[in-house]
Amino acid sequence: MLKSTILSFLLSLIFGFGLGISGMTNPKNVLGFLDVFGNWKPALIFVMGAGILIATPIFMFAKTKSKPILQNDFPILPEKIDFNLIFGAIIFGIGWGIAGICPGPAIVILPKFPIEILVFIGAMIIGGSAAKLIHRT
């Protein structure tokens, strides 16, 4: 348990540095990336591109294992494409397009904009609770 906890911290630290270095933490970059029909800045494609390129072989290797290295089992992940998935993605995209902030970068830039990000995350938790209540997920 201690090993898992320490590792979760270290890997999240690296993930957070990755977000910061990549430019994902700057809402202006994100909005520039999404502004395909305006002044498009395509650089952030490379964040997802490089991320997927590196993560894919690791996930493929993990699939050959019967259990994760430090835990007892891999989770059973849903595979159904349903209304909630599609409607949720539409709503998430609108929110992302409004401010250029998604949950990971929000946490990473919290030290820079504490009040703004606490409002964002507070609203996020309220939004999540609303979704749970309305759709009984």
Partner 1 sequence: MTHLFNNPYFLASIGGGLIGISAGLYYLFLGRIFGISGFIFSLFEKPVFIRIFSILGLLSAGLILNLIGAFNEINQISPLPILALAGFLVGYGSKLGNGCTSGHGICGISRFSKRSIVSVIIFISSAIITLLLKSRLGF
Restricting to residues 17-46, name those near partner 1 by CB under 8 A: 17-29, 31, 34-38, 41, 43-46
Q: How far is the CB of 40 from partner 1 (least distance, A)?
A: 10
Residues in the chain: 137
Q: How far is the CB of 34 from partner 1 (least distance, A)?
A: 5
Q: Is 136 in the site for partner 1 (CB under 8 A)?
A: no
Q: Return the amino acid letter for 103.
A: P
Closest to 20 measured CA to CA, from 99, 109, 100: 109
User: Which residues, 55 to 74, sit near partner 1 by CB under 8 A?
Assistant: 55-59, 61-63, 65, 67-74
What distance in Å separates the CA atoms of residue 25 and residue 19, rounded to the nearest whole number? 6
What distance in Å separates the CA atoms of residue 124 and residue 95, rounded to the nearest whole number? 10
**Count of residues that interact with partner 1, criterion CB under 8 A:** 116
Q: Is 80 in the site for partner 1 (CB under 8 A)?
A: yes
Q: Is 76 in the site for partner 1 (CB under 8 A)?
A: no
Q: Is 77 in the site for partner 1 (CB under 8 A)?
A: yes
- Side-chain-facing half-sphere of 32: CA atoms under 13 Å: 12
